[in-house]
Chain A
Amino acid sequence: MADLAARGETPEILFWVGCAGAFDDRYKRVTRAFVRILEHVGVNYAVLGMEESCTGDPAKRAGNEFLFQMQAMQNITTLNGYGIKKVVTACPHCFNTIKNEYPALGGEYEVIHHSTFLQQLINEGKVKAEGGESFKGRRITFHDSCYLGRANNIYEAPRAVLEVLDADLLEMKRCKTNGLCCGAGGAQMWKEPEPGKKDINVERAEEALATLDGDADVLLNLQGVESTAPVLPAGSNRGGSVIAVACPFCMTMMADGVKNKERESDVQVFDLAELIASAEGLNA
């Protein structure tokens, strides 16, 4: 971004990478996939690089309002300094914070989550999900991120993105407004869970796996799932199923949950951007 500014240019959009997108080895792959899509469609974009700092979301949710505001003011100063109008991010936590909590501190931007952005690219015909990996016949279930769904009412965009993949899309029992948290929000990502019977991500992974497997018995035994209609005949076609996510925290938690159930060989966790990039033939 600094290079662009030195040339006197302002990008159309700023891609906010986020801490997970920058540092988490798994999520760096999502960042790269999304950048490839941006390059592929020829959007004029920039990233802040080393000038980006944590939005302050985990600090605020953990109650450290002071630290949050310090971070927010610093980032707002940077963004406003470059005259940024439009921000796209792959992290629902960054998205929520910049969109909803920065305006009160002087940061007014058009903030778009990458699921909505991808949906727009698909609607405009810029992304067709053709020429790459085919998802025909593969089962995909989408895990709603709380900070995308309940927090900001974005339920359709990620589903619309998945629809272009021509895969078998399945809904978990707890989805959309009733979705179950992956267990990492509210700064839980950085601490051990409180003592309990089970970790939240394991519960959620069990539900996702049971949905992909069509395993009504497992669904029946999940806590708080009241009605159970078998989604598919039990035990059919397990190979290469996907839990789709749109959030770095969900990615980590769901992947850990799948690992906990020793299912990482046949169920993979992918971000929407990775799936689209694969289908578009952009993943080298």
Chain B
Amino acid sequence: MHFSFQNIIFLLVAVAGFGLFIWQAQKIRANILVGRDRDMSGNVNERLWKTLLVAFGQQKMFKRLTPAFLHLIVYVGFIVINIEVIEILIDGIFGTHRVLGFMGPLYSALTGTNEVLGALVILAVAAFWWRRNGSVVRRFTGPEMRAWPRMDANVILYIEVILMVALFMMNTADLKMHQLEGKDLPGAFPVSSLLTGLFPDSVTALHVLERVGWWAHIVGILLFLNYLPSSKHFHIIMAFPNVYFSRLMPQGQFSNVDSITHEVKAMMDPTYQVPTPPVSEGAEAAPTSFGAKDVNDLAWTNLLNAYSCTECGRCTSVCPANLTGKLLSPRKIIMDTRDRMEEKYNSPLIFNPNLYGKEAKHDPQEQLDKENHTLLRGYVTPEELWACTTCNACVEACPVNINPLESIIEMRRFLVLEESAAPNSLNVMFSNIENNGAPWAFSPSDRFNWADELYVTDKAGATA
């Protein structure tokens, strides 16, 4: 161990890197907590089991085998390389070199796995790049996948390659340096040992290369860490809480609006007492509007959804409305939610990538007055919402259990209950139900007519 100027610089860089990240994460946490409260008590075991299967186990990714396999490589690579980052941090702060080397064979297993995965990650990333930019995978296109989301996806891939290249640069230089000096280097380097021929024979040059690789790797990781909160890639963190807090109810069950239950009960029974919720000090008043007009009208889990979305578009690619050419894209609803949160509340510190939202706003056709500049209308149009068949295909498809349908229904509720802005044919359906007890304009007295023919063609039974 030898302290040096380098260690002090490293300590400062690391503290700044993590500090900045925590600051950004706090802003995102605050954005999410703007949402309405939702009871999450109980069911811990069920939730943990789900997290294990869906988030850690990638269960839902495997509905599509090719991307699932490529994603698995990058995912496992990410987890294993994180173990190595711990070593880098210790080495950086205390001036040690490969401090975990004392573990012997275990360390060799770690570095060996790391190297193989690193090489596979480069291949997987190349395949991902081709899928996005070369081949035509329909779900990577679409109106919401404009400037920033497109660039973001590629930036992530480039950074991942740079990080891996830096890792191999560091390992190869270190390995060759030790070989030239006739010393043993702890660890196994199946990939780097193939690359030593490409490196110079000077120990000094190798030392510089090793340091450049080392610094590029860790600084790259810290920069990437701080890029995440502005990027769709934040899903690598948020996927886990998002799956943990995802719905446990049957997909067909829509939430009950308790405030309406009290009203309806009071209407049907004048003696019904609406329970008054305990008013705690400083608590906000109960929601005064039905449904969701803006992001703060959604539940916090819906907002957490927006930060867990990696814009893969599996939801949109199975949406019956979207694939028959309608305006609705479940992915866009989720992306809009995030953009709107960052416009209205906290924006990530370093980047302000809400290009999608901004583009829409600068369009003179889309100039909206301040009143209407909310999630609903400012970002999501009623036409999108009314195209939804509530079929749950998007919910089923999402690998991290995002539920676009909940948000869609909340916004429909706002349109209907607050603005009476349903399409006219739906208003006709509502009044049919109100007046006839059926969504069609039939008289309730005809409800039993189906049985008439039954008696003609079948034995008369006491069916009523």
Contacts and interface: CB of A to CB of B under 8 A. Distances in A.
Interface of A: 1-4, 17, 19, 21-24, 28, 31-32, 35-36, 39, 45-47, 49-50, 52-54, 56, 58-67, 69-71, 73, 77, 96, 99-101, 104-105, 146-147, 150-153, 177-181, 183-200, 202-204, 223-224, 226, 284
B391 A185 contact: yes
29 contacts: A17-B450, A22-B447, A23-B438, A28-B453, A35-B451, A45-B463, A47-B464, A53-B437, A56-B433, A58-B433, A59-B433, A60-B254, A61-B390, A62-B426, A63-B415, A64-B422, A65-B417, A71-B433, A71-B437, A105-B261, A150-B393, A152-B251, A183-B320, A185-B391, A194-B383, A200-B324, A200-B389, A223-B323, A224-B318
B253 interface: yes
Nearest to B413: A63
A48 B435 CA distance: 18
Contact of B446 (A23, A46, A59, A178): A23
A151 B321 contact: no
Interface residues of B, number: 80
Most buried by B among A1, A54, A193: A54
Given A50-B448, A65-B290, A66-B263, A186 B388 contact: yes
Given A54-B439, A73-B265, A63 B320 contact: no
B252 A147 contact: yes
Contacts of A17: 447, 450
A186 B389 contact: yes
B391 A150 contact: yes
B440 A19 contact: yes
A151 B403 CA distance: 13
B463 A69 contact: no
Nearest to B425: A191
Contact of B261 (A45, A69, A150, A200): A69
A20 B390 CA distance: 19
Interface string B246-267: 0001111110110011011101
B229 to A, nearest CB: 32
Given A35-B451, A185-B390, 16 more contacts: A3-B464, A17-B450, A23-B447, A50-B448, A58-B433, A63-B411, A63-B422, A64-B417, A66-B417, A70-B264, A70-B434, A151-B252, A152-B251, A184-B389, A194-B387, A224-B138
A187 B429 contact: yes
Contacts of A28: 449-450, 453
B301 interface: no
A190 B450 CA distance: 22
Nearest to A92: B252
Contacts of A186: 388-391
Interface stretch (B145-153, B204-212, B325-333, B365-373): B325-333
Contact of B425 (A50, A190, A199): A190
A18 B337 CA distance: 37
Given A62-B430, A63-B422, A50 B445 contact: yes
A62 B416 contact: yes
A141 to B, nearest CB: 18
A34 B446 CA distance: 19
Contacts of B388: 186
Contacts of B263: 66
Contacts of A181: 320, 389, 391, 393
A100 B321 contact: no
A81 B395 CA distance: 37
Contacts of B447: 17, 22-23, 49-50, 52
B432 to A, nearest CB: 8
Most buried by B among A56, A63, A70, A105: A63
B425 A192 contact: yes
Contacts of B261: 69, 104-105
A31 B450 contact: yes
A62 B268 contact: no
B450 A180 contact: no
Nearest to B390: A186
Nearest to B138: A224
B406 interface: no
Nearest to B410: A63
